[in-house]
């Protein structure tokens, strides 16, 4: 199947105007994020059902037509959480409805991270090459190999979506698919507040008291700098250094480097970091993260996982599709409260049987 290369806003505007209102589009993106905080959108691939467009977003002087393309139309994508974020950052809009074929596949019995290539192989009988996955999508011109790879990423989406929808319909799980996709879009929209950024620091659960106050202040500052400077958080200060700073509270700039802060960051931001550490010491600490499960709770989680395996087998699903371990740990800590992801279609099929096990003990 051939494709149409679109590299200017006027051409894209005309193409979008030719679409029907509410028309389903099959879409993928290529983006880069190795050295930036924000995803750098490089290419948008669209299968309209009749044509394939490869949109060179780097050449668009006006992003409005792309926003119009994404507005008010259902999008079928595969493993699309980061793609949605990249589109949101670039075009400023979120799709109103997304149907993710990876989620659909998992609800049909495939594993949770089933790849597009595997689905195409098993449902369409076609072996796709993977040789362009790690290439530089921001470099122009794109190679013939990259263009073929980009086209293939949407060629088979309509067939996959049709096959998976039929399977889910036969299983009575179309509502499950919609619920999981709505949860996916909501998770992309959710942004962790600066004051809660410390919870994402690996090892934060080992801190308490004034050290946790310092970590909260440092993490909020690091998160703000990462967004403003468009750098990964670890390029500002790495997690191990964050913990060391929070625990040891140095008062001199030269001590920052010894604790793992890069020299350039110590020069540029050293005074700010030291001031944050000093000021945070007078602030009340946030409530600590939940303790890791104790021996009794670990035993309960193990029992629940065995029950989940039985339930999943009865539904023809992989156990991790049905329930994640961290949900079980939350349920063990508070059996009377059902974690949000275990509500909806999972409540009667999974949450209630597990609650009964815990509350009967």
pLDDT in tens, 65-77: 999 999 999 999 9
Contacts by residues 219-222 (CB-CB < 8 Å, ≥ 24 positions apart): 219/194, 220/194, 220/195, 221/272, 221/273, 221/276, 222/197
What pLDDT was estimated at residue 361? Answer: 63
What pLDDT was estimated at residue 217? Answer: 98
The answer to whether the Cα torsion of 57, 79, 193, 73 is positive or negative is positive
Q: Would you state the structure tokens that stand for residue 13, as one six-digit string? A: 């505007």
Q: Which helix (H) or strand (E) holds 53?
A: strand 52-55
What pLDDT was estimated at residue 130? Answer: 75
Q: Comparing C-alpha atoms, which of 78, 252, 103, 75 is closest to residue 167?
A: 103
- Domains of the chain listed by start with CATH number: 4-189 (3.30.420.10), 194-280 (1.10.150.80), 295-360 (1.10.150)
Q: How far apart are the first and last CA of the chain?
A: 60
Please list, residue by residue across 152-181, b when 16 or more beta carbons sit within 10 angstroms of its beta carbon and e when fewer do: bbbbbbeebbebbbebbeeeebbebbebbb
Contacts by residues 346-351 (CB-CB < 8 Å, ≥ 24 positions apart): 346/322, 349/311, 349/315, 350/308, 350/311, 350/322, 350/323
Q: How many CB atoms lie within 10 A of CB 337?
A: 11
What pLDDT was estimated at residue 291? Answer: 87
Backbone phi, psi, residue 74, to 5°? -65, 140
Which regions of the chain are under pLDDT 70? Answer: 132, 361
Q: Look at phi and psi of residue 316 and say left if phi exceeds 0, alpha if psi is from -120 to 50, else beta.
A: left
Integer Cα distance of 309 and 332 in angstroms: 17
The answer to whether the Cα torsion of 253, 257, 258, 260 is positive or negative is positive
Q: Would you state the structure tokens that stand for residue 107, as one six-digit string? A: 């609800």
Integer Cα distance of 135 and 62 in angstroms: 26
Q: Are strands 25-32 and 40-47 parallel, antiparallel or unpaired?
A: antiparallel
| Predicted TM-score (pTM) of this structure | 0.94
What pLDDT was estimated at residue 25? Answer: 98
Q: Comparing C-alpha atoms, which of 77, 73, 78 is closest to residue 97?
A: 73
- For 39-56, write each residue's pLDDT tens digit: 999 999 999 999 999 999
Q: Would you state the structure tokens that stand for residue 356, as one six-digit string? A: 């009964």
Q: How many CB atoms lie within 10 A of CB 42?
A: 22
């Amino acid at each position: 199947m051939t494709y149409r290369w679109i590299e200017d806003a006027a051409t894209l505007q005309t193409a979008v105007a030719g679409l029907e209102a509410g028309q389903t589009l099959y879409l993928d993106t290529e983006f880069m994020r190795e050295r930036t905080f924000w995803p750098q959108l490089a290419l948008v691939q669209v299968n309209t059902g009749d044509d394939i467009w490869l949109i060179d977003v780097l050449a668009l002087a006006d992003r409005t037509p792309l926003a119009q393309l994404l507005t008010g139309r259902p999008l079928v994508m595969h493993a699309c959480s980061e793609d949605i974020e990249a589109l949101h950052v670039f075009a400023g809009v979120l799709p109103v409805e997304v149907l993710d074929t990876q989620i659909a596949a998992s609800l049909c019995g495939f594993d949770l991270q089933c790849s597009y290539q595997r689905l195409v192989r098993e449902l369409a009988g076609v072996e796709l090459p993977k040789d362009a996955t790690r290439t530089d999508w921001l470099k122009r011109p794109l190679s013939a190999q990259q263009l073929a790879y980009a086209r293939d990423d949407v060629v088979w989406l309509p067939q996959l979506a049709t096959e998976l929808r039929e399977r889910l319909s036969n299983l009575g799980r179309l509502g499950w698919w919609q619920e999981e996709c709505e949860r996916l879009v909501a998770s992309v929209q959710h942004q962790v507040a600066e004051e809660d950024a410390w919870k994402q620091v690996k090892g934060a659960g080992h801190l308490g008291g004034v050290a946790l106050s310092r970590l909260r202040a440092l993490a909020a500052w690091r998160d703000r700098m990462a967004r403003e400077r468009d750098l990964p958080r670890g390029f500002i200060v790495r997690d191990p250094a964050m913990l060391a700073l929070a625990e040891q509270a140095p008062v001199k700039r030269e001590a920052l480097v010894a604790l793992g802060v890069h020299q350039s960051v110590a020069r540029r931001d050293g005074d700010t970091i030291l001031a944050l550490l000093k000021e945070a010491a007078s602030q009340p600490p946030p409530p600590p993260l939940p303790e890791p499960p104790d021996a009794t709770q670990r035993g309960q989680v193990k029992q629940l996982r065995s029950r989940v395996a039985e339930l999943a087998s009865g539904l023809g699903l992989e156990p991790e599709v049905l329930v994640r371990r961290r949900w079980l740990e939350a349920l063990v800590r508070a059996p009377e409260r059902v974690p949000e992801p275990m509500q909806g279609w999972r409540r009667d099929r999974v949450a209630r049987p597990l609650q009964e096990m815990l509350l009967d003990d």
